[in-house]
Amino acid sequence: MKTNAARLLDSLGIAYRTREYEVDPNDLSAETAAAKLGMPADQVFKTLVVRGDRKGVALAVTPGNTELDLKGLAKLSGDRKVDLVPLAQVQALTGYIRGGVTALAGKKDYQVYLDETAILWDVISVSAGVRGTQILIAPVDYARVTKATLGEISKPK
């Protein structure tokens, strides 16, 4: 199954692979996805929807075994304060449901902030835009396509 994210990468001639896994609707964590994919959790990145007090809605992409550093993201984005967007607003803002949010081919092009640890990997895993499907892509290609700003935006759980 081709997702909009995969179609976007195809149209740009960017190399990637997809991997599927069985979804448990009661556990949509990136750590669980990583285990099912047989990958380290810090190589599987989750996409979080945030809102800054100055810059508005953005996407923060962090390793699956970390939590978002809201202060670090605020500093990087130029906001005084950043908060996670309530789950009830995520689909309306992105076009994606929880567990399937991606910065690729969303409803709107939001500013993307990618945790700097992504560049430590040859390949990272991000959601393909649906639950149960991941895109494996070189972090430099992902950053280029999403126009991501790299920085220190995660901290240990």
Low-confidence ranges of the chain (pLDDT < 50): none
Domain extent listing, the chain: 4-156
Which CATH fold would you assign to the domain 4-156? YbaK protein (3.90.960)
3-state secondary structure 54-94: CCEEEEEEEECCEEECHHHHHHHHCCCCEEECCHHHHHHHH
In whole angstroms, give the CA distance from residue 74 to residue 29: 24
Phi and psi dihedrals of 28, rounded to 5?
-100, 20
Model pLDDT, residue 1: 73
pTM higher than the cut 0.85: yes
Strand pairing report for 45-52 and 82-84 = antiparallel
By the 8 A CB rule, do 53 and 79 touch? Answer: yes
Model pLDDT, residue 68: 98
Model pLDDT, residue 86: 97
Beta bridge partners of 35: none
Cα dihedral: 50, 54, 55, 61 (round 10): -30
